[in-house]
Amino acid sequence: MTQASQHLTLLTGASRGMGLAMAHQLLSQGHTLLCISRSQQDALTQHAEQSSATLLQWTHDLADSATLSARLQTWLDQQDSKAWASVTLINNAGVIPHINPLSEAEANDLARALRVGLEAPMQLSAVFLRATAAWPAERKLLNISSGLGRKAMAAQAAYCAVKAGMDHFTRCVALEEALKAQGAKVCSLAPGVIDTDMQQQLRNAAPSAFPDWENFARLKTGGQLSSPEDAARRVLAYLARPDFGTRPVADVRDQ
C-alpha cells in the first residue's frame, strides 16, 4: 500500500498579514489549502497555479461561526481520510475592537471580537477534532495566540480576554487529546510582534485612550517588528517541529 504523502491544511484569516503570508508559504510547500476569510485573494489563486498546489477559498465572516462549522463538518466528512499524511487546522483570524476602556466599549464591537477571536476557533476546533478523529493522518491544531493573552493591557480588555481564553481552551483540549490513542497535537502559539494592520491600528489610536501607545510606536520606529513573511516562516517552522504539541501554550521564540 502506498503511504499517503499529501498534506491538508485549513487556515482562517488568510486574506492579509501573517495569514496571507502563511497561505503563500504553505502553497509553495505543496499543501492542499482551504482558506477561510472575509474575502478571496486573486494573488493566492495565481500562486497556487504556479505552485501546482490545490487551493480552496471560502468567503465567510467568522462572526457567523455556527453556519461555517456546519459547512466544514460536511466538507470534512466528504474527504478521503486515507489520502492525507497530515491534516492541520490553523485558527489565525482575529480582530482588534475599538481601542478604549471597557467602560466605553460598544456591545456589538465586543460581541464581534469575542465571536471571531474565541467562539469561531472553539467551534471550528470542535468540528475538526470530531470529523478527523478516525483519520490515520497526523493531526495538528494550531491556535495563533498573542503575548497579550498572557499580559494585561489597558484599553484592550476584549482582545486580551480572547487570547487568554484561546490559551486556556487549548490547555483543556490538549488534556483531552492526550487521553486518546491517536489524539491531535495541540498548541496555542504566540507569534511575536508583527508589522501588520493590527499594529498600525494600535499606533493610530489616540494616546489619551491607549496608555501603551508610546510602547507600540517605539516598536515600529525601533525596527522591532517582524515582517508578516518572516513571522509566517517562524510559525510554520514551529508547527513542523517534532516536539510540536508538547507545550500546549508556547511562544514562537521558545527553544
Which one of 159, 210, 216, 238 is the catalytic residue?
Answer: 159
Answer whether 90's CB lies under 8 Å from 147's CB: no
Kind plus residue range of the DSSP H or E element containing 12: strand 6-12
Nearest in space to 91 (alpha carbons), one of 145, 54, 138, 133: 145
Question: 9 and 85 in contact (C-beta within 8 Å)?
Answer: no
For 9, 22, 80, 85, the CA distances from 2, given in Å and listed in that order, are 21, 29, 14, 11
14 neighbors 36 (Cβ within 8 angstroms): yes
**231's grid cell:** 513571522
Q: How far apart are CA 17 and CA 228, in angstroms?
A: 6
Strands (DSSP E) along 51-193, which ranges? 55-59, 84-91, 138-144, 185-190
User: Half-sphere exposure of residue 145, counting CA atoms within 13 Å on the CB side?
Assistant: 28
Measured CA to CA in angstroms, residue 123 lies from 67, 126, 136 at distances of 10, 5, 22
Output the nine-digit C-alpha cell for 32.
Answer: 492542499
Active site residue 159: yes
C-alpha cell belonging to residue 252: 514562537
For the record, the C-alpha cell of 1 comes out as 500500500
Query: Pairing between strand 55-59 and 185-190?
Result: unpaired
Residues serving a catalytic function are 159
